[in-house]
Structure 1
Amino acid sequence: MECEASLKNSAAILILLTIFSHVNSWYFKCENGFCIRNADPNDKSNYPTLELCSLVCSSFHNVWPQPTGKMASLKNIVRINPNKIEIKLNGPPGTDHFIADNILHFSKKLKKEEPYNCTEKVYPLKIILTPKSNNPHLDLNTNESYTLEIIYEDDTITASINAYSIFGIRHGLETLFQLIIPYEDGNQKCIATLSYVYISDKPVYKHRGLLLDTGRNFLSVDTIKRHLDGMAASKLNVLHWHITDSQSFPLEVGRLPNMTKYGAYSEKHIYSESAIKDLLQYANRRGVRILPEIDAPSHAGNGWQWGEEAGLGNLAVCINRQPWRSFCIQPPCGQLNPTNQNLYSVLKDLYSHMRDHFPDTGMFHMGGDEVFIPCWNSTQEIIDYLRGKPLTTETFLDLWGEFQRKALAAYDRAFEHEDTSIVVWTSHITQPEVIRKYLSNERYIIQTWVPESNINLITELLKLEYRVIISTKDKWYLDHGFWGSTLYYNWKTVYENKMYKYNHEGILGGEVCMWGELVDDNNIDSRVWPRAAAAAERLWSNPRSTAEFAQYRFFAQRKRLVDLGIHAEALTPKWCVDSQGECKTYL
């Protein structure tokens, strides 16, 4: 009897072990475009991991953002010998440093899956990179297209990336990395790809941006670099850096040391010249250009209050005045003083610093939003300056236009040319009925931040031949949902923002915006990512398909971001990630 009970117990334990083995060792099979979990280890159609199955089964082989040109492939898996990866550069002289840095970045990402131990049926990988141009400068007209071809023949895997620019080569490497998947089966671990892939790819929009705000809360250099890594992984190419605001002025300006003396939160909250140089180089190597914004004439308070002490008069007015609702949109208050001619000399020094320490990419952002007329209308020296004129909205718009004209002249003197395109936010002086009076359509690019329902404003600006960058306020403002009556926009809402209903050459692209009132180093990652990657596919591919069609590729992209060290927000229970097709319309 004891022996019989022991045998029954052993059988029960064996059954439980078998069940647990199946629970913890799922296989995956491709059915109707989904990777379906399968507990049968003998099914010959199995793939050992979800990642490997998705490489074969998913739309666009899990590449994010989806390629826009021709794509062809064979769905056969070949395993790569990670110890025999050779990278060859066939570019013109001068491309070595840029390409070498990107090769190092590519290699580091592959090494994160080590150690590898596959020894059988693994093949060497040869990567050939061929750019036509060695131009290291990224601007609005840079050709970012590339082709990628992977061929397995004669026991060798060859990946050839061809592009006009080194930035196209960088994008091709990013796509290649997404097509190389960890291969784990039992005790075997290596990396694998498809036996044949051809991709021809280029972005739909030239300007694909993310705005970070360091004026409200300081962000460390490491945090900004982490976002640059996420941008590179998603093929975003513009970091719109809202550096300063009325709360703080954290940018070190050698010509104007009082800006940080009066404006920085502390000595630890300053972007030094060396930090700027480091960030600019890091961004460039990630295929990102930094678009700096020095907001003016509004959103300019702390950092500007030293004028009288220096004998220059009031450079700004209404600084830190209370009650703040009487003098600005949000505290602390502060607007530049357009009637003080010394202001324009200070601006020239500031713009000269930008010339010396930021590359001339042909674009600069002057802000220009939320000018609060009651501030100027309550300042005696401004009222005196306007003596003899009616204190009407039109008079103050003319004063604002005068400021913009003189600020632009100061910028042009600093740069010694008049070729820079100046970006400004939509505001009272960009309304279609008055904009031509104040802003030239040859010099100014208008960044719209209106809700989707106000699409007519974009139409009118395009009719007036202005170039436009779109930041749809009720789709792409990532700070919304955490203050006031604003709503949170999930990744599907971000993804399905089509920006504008027509293709128009005047639309340069768009930006998602992470305003900084409620974020700092500790929580910004999850507010930005992976939603910014959803906008990235809209800006690169502008797909006709819905977020539901893209969701499993997007889940894979979120994992890539996490693997880069970005604390990306969770999108759904892991069960839904692993059980494709089982959570339709959920979350």
Structure 2
Amino acid sequence: MRSFTYILLFASSAAAIWPQPVRYDHSDTVLFVKKDVPFYWYEAGARNVGSMADQFPFVFASNSNTGPNPQDNNRLKIRKQYTEPSLSENAENGTQGGVSGDEIIDFAIVSAWKTIFKHNLYPWKFHPRNWDEPSPNQGETTYISRIDIKLISTDPSNVAKPLAGEVDESYSLTLTQEGLATISANTSVGIAHGLTTFTQLFYAHSDGKNFYTPLAPVTIYDAPKFQHRGINMDVARAWFSTSDIKRQIDACAYNKMNRFHLHVTDSQSWPLEIPSMPELSAKGAYRPDLVYTAEDFQHIQRYAAIQGVEMITEIDMPGHTSSIHYAFPDLIAAFNIQPHWDTYAAEPPSGTLKLNSTAVYDFLDKLLDDLLPRVYPYSSYFHTGGDEVNKNAYMFDDTVKSNSSAILQPLMQKFVDRNHDQVRALGLTPVVWEEMLLDWNVTLGPDVIVQSWQSDEAVAQIVAKGHKALVGNYNYWYLDCGKGQWLDFDPSSSADAWPYYDYCAPFHNWRLIYAYDPLSGVPEENQHLVIGGEAHMWAEQTDPINIDRMIWPRGSAVAEVLWSGAKDSEGRNRSQIDASPRLSEMRERLVGLGVGAEPIQMPYCTMEGTVCQLGYTG
């Protein structure tokens, strides 16, 4: 009799689902699948397609308040049948009207088909030399007969742009020994996650023509631990094409991340077109052609949403804004002070929006009135920044002329209130960096999400004040760390800086990232306010050439922590022995999808099982 397990019982690519499901049971029957396998998409409406409670009694017995709802499962009807599915050329572009659950399912089915039949993995690296590869010519061959997609409930209207926790992402997956696959969920996003997992059951044959799973029968129930799971990508310090950005979104979706944070402007450049103020990007971008047009911006947001990934746009302010100077010099104080820029800013060029300026307020009003209605169809959030604001810069602000906290704090309160009032008025929820709450003592609305990056202690302070928090401690989840200083040093200071480590060295390898617990140091009574987190890819030393390998597969380690939790069912840190071969396989799958992810281990280690472990006792 097979048993359902919370953890994998052995380190084997034959069970390499990433991130790890809540419950996963499989056996070792080989099933093949053909390109013309039909997908049947059911939705609430008709009768007699079986009971979810019958299919997954263990789920409903032990998780009575979670998982796909069985109540309406006897009222399903076939909505659509696919064979060799394809999308129209307009599917990724659409209109300004946002994304529907139907579009998410359409895209997920097509993506799953492409992943299995066009971008799959030939798993030679995960078997010993001279392994016996399954063949459709060896004995009796069973093929998967159909793939049933069962949307049990009606999608909420905000399914593609929810606030954290508003959309049920759980799913159930079964694959019978006879070849019937079923993916069931309460929402289209859950269906998309289930289809992603389904693709990870399959491998390509060495002949390039056949595809199989060695795992049947399979039963999976899955749901995320954290509501917000994302990557923050800086596209202001270096230029990335829309295809570079979309590739990161693809990887996020395949790792079941549901947020993509676009840090789109900063001191060094303003690459985002604002149609009502075209001079901002025309003068503030590195080059006039290195700009995300309004059409590009809409396309990127939609491309994320159609994969169940909500894009959160950040315009960092009042600091990190000196690129505005190129178009509107009167709005910026302390612009590009040399040689001692570090007295006034975290990075060159120095410069900050003036803090008590009517002209600045008029500018922000016009900026956000242009931008936020174009964000609203695709997101429920807008990030107003607020990190690393240097008080000394306001000595050069003719509306303030002071670096005194007593003078600056009320002005910062007014600045943040003005921005957040406008964000709310346009239907969005504000997000800020932790400094606004903890360093500037700004009183924030109870709806404001506070993003932490400096310490676990900061997270504990944020939730103690009653705010929802996003984690991303730079000592663990900053993906740019460990490459050394990007600054140059004069001979007078060079010896003091040697050997030129960056502030967050060393390089954060996947094991360190994987060992980090987002709830570390947070009292149990406040842990519900930690809604998730993000890994951060700052771009001082990253550009399109190395972006993929800087994020992936370390970002996958973050994804599993946020989906599955940092601890196993016995409260221990998750095992590297289990994770390593699974993460190696996820890396290969990402490469197959066109993502230039770095390797985890040499093939010898993945081929020979546990020979590359120290202290392994079985």
TM superposition score normalised by structure 1: 0.81
Q: Deviations over 1:20-60 (max 9, x none)?
A: xxxxxxxxxxxx8356xxxxxxxxxxxxxxxxxx32xxxxx
Matching residue of 1:359: 376
In 2, the alpha carbon distance for the partners of 1:95 and 1:292 equals 22
Q: Aligned in 2, Cα 1:585/1:343: closer, same or farther, shift over 3 Å? A: farther
Secondary structure class of the residue paired with 1:560: helix
Partner amino acid for 2:18?
W
Q: Aligned in 2, Cα 1:489/1:320: closer, same or farther, shift over 3 Å? A: same
Q: Aligned in 2, Cα 1:380/1:267: closer, same or farther, shift over 3 Å? A: closer
In 2, the alpha carbon distance for the partners of 1:242 and 1:297 equals 14
How far 1:117 moved relative to its partner? Answer: 8.8
> Pairwise mapping of residues 73-472 of structure 1 onto structure 2 (< 5 A)?
73=26, 75-91=27-43, 95-112=101-118, 118=136, 121-131=141-151, 132-134=153-155, 135=157, 136-139=159-162, 140=164, 141-153=166-178, 157-184=179-206, 189-307=210-328, 314-323=330-339, 324-359=341-376, 361-383=379-401, 392-413=404-425, 415=426, 420-427=428-435, 429-431=436-438, 435=441, 438-451=442-455, 455-472=456-473
Q: Which residues of structure 2 form unaligned runs of 5+?
A: 1-8, 45-78, 80-99, 123-133, 486-500, 569-573
Does the 8 Å CA contact 2:355/2:411 hold for their aligned counterparts?
yes
Q: Deviations over 1:54-93 (max 9, x none)?
A: 32xxxxx21100012x3333x1323224144110111267
How far 1:193 moved relative to its partner? Answer: 4.4
In 1, the alpha carbon distance for the partners of 2:119 and 2:548 equals 23
> Pairwise mapping of residues 475-494 of structure 1 onto structure 2 (< 5 A)?
475-484=476-485, 485=501, 486-494=505-513
How far 1:133 moved relative to its partner? Answer: 2.5
How far 1:345 moved relative to its partner? Answer: 2.1
Partner amino acid for 2:320?
H
In 2, the alpha carbon distance for the partners of 1:211 and 1:95 equals 25
In 1, the alpha carbon distance for the partners of 2:373 and 2:535 equals 28
Matching residue of 1:511: 534
- RCO greater where, 1 or 2, for CA within 8 Å and sep 6 or more? 2
In 1, the alpha carbon distance for the partners of 2:365 and 2:614 equals 54
Secondary structure class of the residue paired with 2:506: coil
Secondary structure class of the residue paired with 1:302: helix
Q: Deviations over 1:342-371 (max 9, x none)?
A: 212221222122222223532211110111
What percentage of residue pairs aligned between the two structures are identical?
A: 27
Structure 1 residue runs of 4 or more that deviate by more than 6 Å after TM superposition: 113-117
Q: Which residues of structure 1 form unaligned runs of 5+?
A: 1-31, 36-53, 56-60, 309-313
Q: Deviations over 1:238-260 (max 9, x none)?
A: 11100000111111111111211
Does the 8 Å CA contact 1:162/1:169 hold for their aligned counterparts?
yes
Secondary structure class of the residue paired with 2:262: strand
Q: Deviations over 1:257-306 (max 9, x none)?
A: 12112211113211111111221221112221100000000000113443
Q: Deviations over 1:499-533 (max 9, x none)?
A: 22355110010110000111111111111110000
Does the 8 Å CA contact 1:424/1:444 hold for their aligned counterparts?
yes
In 2, the alpha carbon distance for the partners of 1:71 and 1:581 equals 22
Matching residue of 2:593: 564
The count of residues paired between Structure 1 and Structure 2 equals 505
Partner amino acid for 2:454?
V
* Matching of residue 66 in structure 1 with residue 17 in structure 2: no
Q: Aligned in 2, Cα 1:96/1:448: closer, same or farther, shift over 3 Å? A: closer
Matching residue of 2:579: 550
Q: Judging by fraction of residues, say which structure has more strand.
A: 1
In 2, the alpha carbon distance for the partners of 1:105 and 1:128 equals 16
In 1, the alpha carbon distance for the partners of 2:481 and 2:33 equals 47
Does the 8 Å CA contact 1:76/1:194 hold for their aligned counterparts?
yes
Q: Deviations over 1:75-126 (max 9, x none)?
A: 1323224144110111267644332222111111122269999466141331
Matching residue of 2:84: none
Q: Aligned in 2, Cα 1:340/1:62: closer, same or farther, shift over 3 Å? A: same
Q: Aligned in 2, Cα 1:423/1:579: closer, same or farther, shift over 3 Å? A: same
In 1, the alpha carbon distance for the partners of 2:584 and 2:208 equals 26
In 2, the alpha carbon distance for the partners of 1:95 and 1:257 equals 34
Q: Aligned in 2, Cα 1:363/1:34: closer, same or farther, shift over 3 Å? A: closer
TM superposition score normalised by structure 2: 0.77
CA RMSD of aligned residues (A): 2.5
Does the 8 Å CA contact 1:179/1:194 hold for their aligned counterparts?
yes
How far 1:441 moved relative to its partner? Answer: 4.6
In 1, the alpha carbon distance for the partners of 2:11 and 2:468 equals 42
Matching residue of 2:71: none
* Matching of residue 33 in structure 1 with residue 10 in structure 2: yes
Q: Greater Rg, structure 1 or structure 2?
A: 1
Does the 8 Å CA contact 1:317/1:336 hold for their aligned counterparts?
yes
In 1, the alpha carbon distance for the partners of 2:332 and 2:266 equals 13
Secondary structure class of the residue paired with 1:293: strand
Secondary structure class of the residue paired with 2:145: strand
How far 1:476 moved relative to its partner? Answer: 0.3
Q: Aligned in 2, Cα 1:128/1:193: closer, same or farther, shift over 3 Å? A: farther
Does the 8 Å CA contact 1:305/1:316 hold for their aligned counterparts?
no
In 1, the alpha carbon distance for the partners of 2:208 and 2:109 equals 29
Q: Aligned in 2, Cα 1:238/1:188: closer, same or farther, shift over 3 Å? A: closer
In 1, the alpha carbon distance for the partners of 2:102 and 2:257 equals 23
Partner amino acid for 1:499?
P
Does the 8 Å CA contact 2:446/2:467 hold for their aligned counterparts?
yes
Which region of structure 1 is more displaced relative to structure 2, 548-557 or 455-464? 455-464
In 1, the alpha carbon distance for the partners of 2:31 and 2:25 equals 20
Secondary structure class of the residue paired with 1:333: coil
In 1, the alpha carbon distance for the partners of 2:174 and 2:544 equals 39
In 2, the alpha carbon distance for the partners of 1:342 and 1:446 equals 28
